Amino acid sequence: MPTIQFKTDVATKKQSVEIFQQLGMTMPDAINIFLRQSILHGGFPFEVTVPQYNKVTMDALEAMEQSKGKGLRGKDINSALADLKAEEGDE
């Protein structure tokens, strides 16, 4: 059987392995499912798009990245999430 090698970052591998283990499969199992589904669909077996977030969501994501979860521009996370929900409800 041929071998496929690829590189990914440590966090992506760790998170993926954890999910696949919960599903009772290995990384090679998951990759084989992806490849077979790609063949059946004649392309990606899911939609590949760039997410379109509103400004409040983008600001929150940026702030979370900068603060690594320690707070959002002077707000605690619960307050920031409440603002996000309110903003999304206005759209």
| Structural domain spans, the chain | 10-41, 55-90
The answer to whether the CB of 30 falls within 8 A of the CB of 20 is yes
- Residues 62-77 have a mean pLDDT of 63
pLDDT at 79: 73
Environment class of residue 72 by beta-carbon count within 10 Å: exposed (0-12), middle (13-18) or buried (19+)?
buried
pLDDT in tens, 13-59: 999 999 999 999 999 999 999 999 999 999 999 998 887 778 888 78
pTM: 0.55
pLDDT tier at 65 (50, 70, 90 boundaries)?
confident
